[in-house]
Amino acid sequence: MPKDGGIGAATTRREDVRFLTGTGKYTDDIQTHAECAAVFARSTVAHGIIKSIDTSAAADMPGVLAIFTGEDFVEVGGNPAGWLINSRDGEPMKEPKRPVLAHGKVRHVGDAYAAVIAETVQQARDAAEMIEADIEELPAITNMKDALAGDNFVHDEIGTNQCFDWGWIEDNRAATDEAIKNAHHVTTLELVNNRLVPNAMEPRSSIGSYHPGTGDYTLHTTSQNPHLTRLLISAFVMGIPENKLTVIAPDVGGGFGSKIYHYGEEALVLAAAKKLGRTVKWTADRSEAFLTDAHGRDHLTKIELALDKDGNFLAFRTETHANVGAYLSNFATATPTFLHGTLMAGNYTVPLVYVNVKAVFTNTAPVDAYRGAGRPEATYSLERVIDMAAREIGRDPTDLRRQNFIKPDQYPYASAAGLEYDSGNYDALMDKMEEVSDKAGFAARRAESEAKGMLRGFGVNAYIEACGIAPSNLVGILGSRVGLYDAATVRVNATGNLSVMVGAHSHGQGHETVFPQVVAEMLGIDPQSIDIVHGDTSKIPFGMGTYGSRSLAVCGSAVVRATEKIINKAKKIAAHMLEAAEADIDFTDGEFSVAGTDKKVSFGEVALKAYIPHNFPLEDIEPGLEETAFYDPANFTYPSGAYCCEVEIDPETGKVRVDRMTAVDDFGNVINPMVVTGQVHGGLGQGIGQALLENTTYDENGQLLSASYMDYAMPRADDVPYYIVDHSQGNACTHNPLGVKGCGEAGAIGSPPTVVNAVIDAIQSGGINVTHIDMPVSPHRVWAAMNNAK
Amino acid sequence: MKLNDSRTIQADVATIWAGLLNPDVLKECVPGCTEMSGSPEEGFEATVVQKVGPVKATFKGAVQMSEMVEHQSLKMSGEGKGGPAGFAKGGANVRLEADGDATILHYEVEANVGGKLAQLGSRIIDGFAKKMADQFFANFQDAVEPPDASDDAAPEEETKKKGWFRRVTGS
């Protein structure tokens, strides 16, 4: 039955019907009677002491219902960091409180110090403008290295701007230093991993409501993980018991990481709802999104690669300054450490890796995980320095990588950065990439470009990432304060259709299409009879949400486990119906049969029987057909890929055009190839955006200068080429039941170094000795680098 | 942003010095200024309406005069708050140099903007600040220079403007 709709089928996305016809329902679309609006008063200075806040004029404005300031939240908790990092000296990281509203000081432009609740959003906005805040501006801390040297602190109570100074693997430090000191050749590269604004199409929005009769709170919010948001509000910030708080994340228009986290606005609308007994809505405008969504990347890195005389990698050593912004966002401490340092061995048999990361507080918006989260930073550093080393020692960049690849017979492979890779075949990915990209035709295409006066470059990259986050046992040892399992409930209704409640939230990933394919395949039934329920803590058992390319590998595995339980129970019911021993029941293609006979019942008949249990052996079988499973992975999954791109540069202007882009990925088994291709396309677009266009700029006073689409360049259709995407070289993940690896972030991880490597190749083909240009490789930067090198 | 420039004005140092300290002159010369009051000793209070790119706002602020060396140099500094539009602040070091009957007015201006002005207007803020400074000193030049022959022939309203401060002060 499911052969055209089960595992491996490229069925179109069922959720697209509502998204493409404008019938999706996002948080701001939800309207209730007696709803009122919240508007925040936000700091226009990056750093300052709040001397006083006079709300009296604002309170007299029409329609104003309530005004909150930081004083109102002194008694409630702070929004915590989810991951404890210890410094090299064993000291735990510094964790200054992150309040609901700024109190005492404002710490970045956009830091909210007051909120106005009024009948309409216009009234609230007018009143917010009447709040008189006397804020004494202090010098802003924007440069990470200066921040560590000075005595001007973002958080005075911790007496430093350093959150932690982390070493990985500390025991390898001396040996790595020694290897680099004695190496035949060392390539050194200093680079910037440019700060990015996530720019989800839907800005953040939250609606709080409170039922005075029951004491129940409901929060509708733009979240990638409603259960985690509920947990944070309950356990840390507001103390609302989990059984009194429902968090619902309806359709969400993109997250890319920025909607993983709990934000103060969510707590504020709940507090206001209780105080007023009204439903309170807040929706960010685009300026607020730029100023307050957790940003991504922002690393300054020095990386060194030591090689022997034959080109074998001996050691990687990196020193990174990672900006965490003004407050610790929920995953801010994990992103530059365990999601970054553990990947610094790449796809290579390098024996030694040492990573030092200093996380630094600055007067800028919080920085946290953004599509790829640490792995793009690792991959970019590695793949840029390897490319540079190949050029320095006169080796072909692809050839040098191949020489150092882990070979297929070496799995499971313990990397020098502490992970155990389960499977992979990097040479096969390279071979496929060279084939489908027509690498052989590059020389002719370069000649054509040169005939037009253009420079053409070929850039290559190999990446590995750790996703399917994450084995709770492992991350617990590494400092995570949560477990990273997921959960699913499979409910077979009496009439044979299914509702599958999943912990993973879908906001563009295609879960509503893909998860039913898995269940349909296992049960041998029509996937159209299966619906996914997600995003509502009152409907689903539990969930850790969607990030880290984990949904299918972790939550999908929970779906498999729950469906297996359904099959086991259904077999019992079928055995009873067929008057046979349970051991004799076969289940294939949606039918239960007695081995060696023609006696059989369909899945639908068993489902009906489960709910009409006449003549049931109740001591052996309960009525109903509903099962829940929690799944905690044994390891990360390790997708890998070989990417290449060709760029054409106009030497007169420095303008880079990506002409061809090829992504060959090992995602293990693929459930829906069309959905996977779409995920790769999106990631590639974001990676090309980082490489060519996007940059977040604060001036020395901490003012965000790139705070609108006039100044922050997002990739547009004509900035990206036709993509060649291939996932035919999958090696099944060895430790999850579907054999799948995560695919959501790969494109954004693999593409930035590919583009920059191609740019350097193009420039050097013109005889100009440019060895590195920081992203974004804008026309100005390319032109300046070329002209400075002449 | 920073800019340095100088301008030769056909007036003596004393006239220019008096003009720089006169709130009525400043009101006429600051582009978009709708109110100006106060004194050099106690500082000036000003209201300025300006549009920077997409952001139009009324800025209320204070201007302080300091490091005053009579007939030679002074420092102006100030900050204007435009509510939700953000703020602008800056200063100018002004130095006067006699050049025969004329005076060369040297100025170094530094300006910073914050909030929405920075977020939406940063691309154009350098050009905007230069235009503001140029307009200010052009207006100032008009205010303190004597009407010349060609101005006498100009229409009435032109001559009213040119040299008005000199006539008012009788210098």
Contact A293, A260 (CB under 8 A): no
**DSSP label of A745:** S
CA atoms within 13 Å, Cβ hemisphere of A683: 30
Query: Domain check: are A614 and A640 in the same one?
Result: no
| pLDDT (0 to 100) of residue A574 | 97
Cβ-defined contact of A708 to B113 (cutoff 8 Å): no
B86 touches chain A (CB under 8 A): yes
ipTM: 0.80
**DSSP label of B30:** S
Residue A147 lies in a domain: no
Q: Left (φ > 0), alpha (ψ -120 to 50) or beta: where does A297 sit?
A: left
A451 touches chain B (CB under 8 A): no
Query: Domain check: are A450 and A526 in the same one?
Result: no
Q: What are phi and psi of A376, to 5 degrees?
A: -65, -35
Distance between CA atoms of residues A25 and A251, nearest Å: 6
A203 closest CA partner among A116, A297, A282: A282
Distance between CA atoms of residues B31 and B132, nearest Å: 7
Distance between CA atoms of residues A388 and A176, nearest Å: 20
Distance between CA atoms of residues A464 and A378, nearest Å: 10
Of B86, B114, B120, the CB nearest to A708: B120
B169 touches chain A (CB under 8 A): no
Of B83, B114, B122, the CB nearest to A45: B114
Query: Domain check: are A722 and A785 in the same one?
Result: yes
Query: What's the whole-number mean pLDDT along residues A703-717?
Result: 94
**DSSP label of A523:** H
Question: Where among A631, A655, A686 does a domain terminate?
Answer: A631
Residue B26 lies in a domain: yes
* H/E element, A176: helix A173-182
| End-to-end Cα separation, chain A, in angstroms | 66
Q: What are phi and psi of A44, to 5 degrees?
A: -95, -5
Cβ-defined contact of B84 to A128 (cutoff 8 Å): yes
* pLDDT confidence bin for A743, thresholds 50/70/90: very high
CATH of the domain at B63: 3.30.530.20
Instruction: For residue A193, list its beta bridge partners.
Output: A299
> Do the bridges between strand A112-118 and strand A35-42 make them parallel or antiparallel, or are there none, so unpaired?
antiparallel
The 10 Å CB-count burial string (b at 16+, else e) for A272-301 is bbbebebbbbbbbeebbbbbbbbbbbbbbb
A699 touches chain B (CB under 8 A): yes
The answer on pLDDT for A750 being more than 90 is yes
CATH of the domain at A620: 3.30.365.10
List, in order, residues 6 or more apart from A36 with CB less than 8 Å away.
A65, A117, A118, A119, A120, A124, A276, A278, A279, A280, A281
The label of the residue with tokens 């432009």 reads A109
The answer on pLDDT for A730 being more than 80 is yes
Of B83, B114, B119, the CB nearest to A708: B119
* pLDDT confidence bin for A538, thresholds 50/70/90: very high
* pLDDT confidence bin for A790, thresholds 50/70/90: confident
| Residue in A with minimal Cα distance to B54 | A710
The 10 Å CB-count burial string (b at 16+, else e) for B83-106 is bebbbbbbbbbbebeeeeebbebe
CATH of the domain at A69: 3.90.1170.50
| pLDDT (0 to 100) of residue B104 | 94
B123 touches chain A (CB under 8 A): yes
Question: Where among A631, A647, A674 does a domain terminate?
Answer: A631
Q: Which residues of A touch B1 (CB under 8 A)?
A: none
Cβ-defined contact of A290 to B119 (cutoff 8 Å): yes
CA distances from A81 to A108, A153, A216, A401, A486 (A): 18, 19, 27, 37, 20
Distance between CA atoms of residues A291 and A577, nearest Å: 63
Q: What are phi and psi of B98, to 5 degrees?
A: -70, 140
List, in order, residues 6 or more apart from A462 with CB less than 8 Å away.
A346, A347, A383, A401, A405, A426, A429, A430, A640, A641, A642, A643
Q: What are phi and psi of A245, to 5 degrees?
A: -130, 120
Query: How close A42 gets to chain B, by Cα (Å)?
Result: 9
The label of the residue with tokens 């390790």 reads A638
Distance between CA atoms of residues A547 and A531, nearest Å: 22
Query: Domain check: are A490 and A551 in the same one?
Result: yes
Query: Domain check: are A695 and A595 in the same one?
Result: no
Query: What's the whole-number mean pLDDT along residues A20-29?
Result: 96
A542 closest CA partner among A628, A478, A467: A628
Query: Domain check: are A657 and A619 in the same one?
Result: no
| pLDDT (0 to 100) of residue A1 | 53
The answer on pLDDT for A720 being more than 90 is yes
Of A45, A290, A710, the CB nearest to B123: A710
Q: What sign does the CA torsion over B104, B110, B115, B121 have?
A: positive
CA distances from A225 to A122, A723, B25, B58 (A): 31, 31, 61, 43
Distance between CA atoms of residues A10 and B133, nearest Å: 63
| pLDDT (0 to 100) of residue A778 | 98
Contact A335, A374 (CB under 8 A): yes
pLDDT digit string, tens, across residues A446-458: 999 999 999 999 9
Residue A161 lies in a domain: no
Distance between CA atoms of residues A361 and A326, nearest Å: 5
| pLDDT (0 to 100) of residue B3 | 83
Tally the domains of chain B. 1
| pLDDT (0 to 100) of residue A329 | 98
The one-letter amino acid code at A648 reads E
A753 closest CA partner among A500, A380, A413, A441: A380
Sheet holding B33-39: strands in order across?
B2-9, B102-114, B87-99, B73-81, B55-69, B43-52, B33-39
A705 touches chain B (CB under 8 A): yes
Q: Name the stretches of chain B with pLDDT < 70.
A: 148-164, 166-171
B61 touches chain A (CB under 8 A): no
List, in order, residues 6 or more apart from A26 with CB less than 8 Å away.
A202, A205, A222, A250, A251, A252, A253
Contact A656, A759 (CB under 8 A): yes
User: Can you give the length of chain A in residues?
Assistant: 790
Question: Where among A571, A602, A631 does a domain terminate?
Answer: A631
Distance between CA atoms of residues A264 and A678, nearest Å: 33
Query: How close B83 gets to chain A, by Cα (Å)?
Result: 6
Distance of CA A392 to the CA centre of its chain: 35
Cβ-defined contact of A287 to B84 (cutoff 8 Å): no
| Residue in A with minimal Cα distance to B112 | A701
Q: Which two tokens stand for residue B136?
A: 């200010």
Distance between CA atoms of residues A407 and A214, nearest Å: 61
Q: Reduced to 3 states, what is the DSSP secondary structure of residue A180?
A: helix
Q: Which residues of A touch B123 (CB under 8 A)?
A: 710-711
Other beta carbons within 10 Å of A308: 13
Report the share of chain A in percent with pLDDT over 90: 98
Q: Reduced to 3 states, what is the DSSP secondary structure of residue B135?
A: helix
Query: What's the whole-number mean pLDDT along residues A573-591?
Result: 96
**Substitution target from A44, A45, A122, A695 for chain B, most B beta carbons within 10 A:** A44
Of A45, A701, A704, the CB nearest to B119: A704
Query: Domain check: are A429 and A547 in the same one?
Result: no
B44 touches chain A (CB under 8 A): no
Query: How close B43 gets to chain A, by Cα (Å)?
Result: 20
Query: Domain check: are A558 and A459 in the same one?
Result: no
Instruction: Tell me the residue range of the domain where A460 lies.
Output: 299-470+635-789
Cβ-defined contact of B118 to A707 (cutoff 8 Å): yes
Query: What's the whole-number mean pLDDT along residues A713-739?
Result: 97
pLDDT digit string, tens, across residues A316-333: 999 999 999 999 999 999
Radius of gyration of chain A (CA): 27
A155 closest CA partner among A96, A213, A69, A227: A96
Tally the domains of chain A. 3
The answer on pLDDT for A637 being more than 90 is yes
A745 closest CA partner among A670, A668, A685: A685
Q: Which two tokens stand for residue A30?
A: 């939800």
pLDDT digit string, tens, across residues A497-512: 999 999 999 999 999 9
Chain A and chain B share a number of CB contacts under 8 A equal to 46
The one-letter amino acid code at B111 reads A
Torsion of CA B22, B26, B28, B31, to 10 degrees: 180
The answer on pLDDT for A355 being more than 70 is yes
| pLDDT (0 to 100) of residue B133 | 85
A546 closest CA partner among A223, A81, A296: A223
Q: What is the mean pLDDT of chain A?
A: 97
Query: Domain check: are A322 and A247 in the same one?
Result: no
Contact A325, A362 (CB under 8 A): yes
Q: What is the pTM of this model?
A: 0.94
B114 touches chain A (CB under 8 A): yes
| Residue in B with minimal Cα distance to A47 | B114
Query: How close B115 gets to chain A, by Cα (Å)?
Result: 4
The 10 Å CB-count burial string (b at 16+, else e) for A425-436 is bbbbbbebbbeb
Query: Domain check: are A305 and A451 in the same one?
Result: yes
Q: Which residues of A touch B118 (CB under 8 A)?
A: 109, 699, 703-705, 707
| Residue in B with minimal Cα distance to A108 | B115
Cβ-defined contact of B119 to A287 (cutoff 8 Å): yes
The burial class, CB within 10 Å (0-12 / 13-18 / 19+), for A617 is exposed
Query: Domain check: are A366 and A410 in the same one?
Result: yes
Query: What's the whole-number mean pLDDT along residues A42-53?
Result: 97
A109 touches chain B (CB under 8 A): yes
Query: Domain check: are A218 and A340 in the same one?
Result: no
Residue B90 lies in a domain: yes
Instruction: Tell me the residue range of the domain where B42 lies.
Output: 2-166
Distance between CA atoms of residues B75 and B69, nearest Å: 10
A40 touches chain B (CB under 8 A): no
A389 touches chain B (CB under 8 A): no
The burial class, CB within 10 Å (0-12 / 13-18 / 19+), for B150 is exposed
Q: What are phi and psi of A114, to 5 degrees?
A: -155, 160
Q: Which residues of B touch A703 (CB under 8 A)?
A: 112-115, 118-119, 122
Residue B171 lies in a domain: no
Cβ-defined contact of A703 to B122 (cutoff 8 Å): yes
Q: Number of helices (H) and strands (E) in chain A: give both, helices first.
A: 19, 28
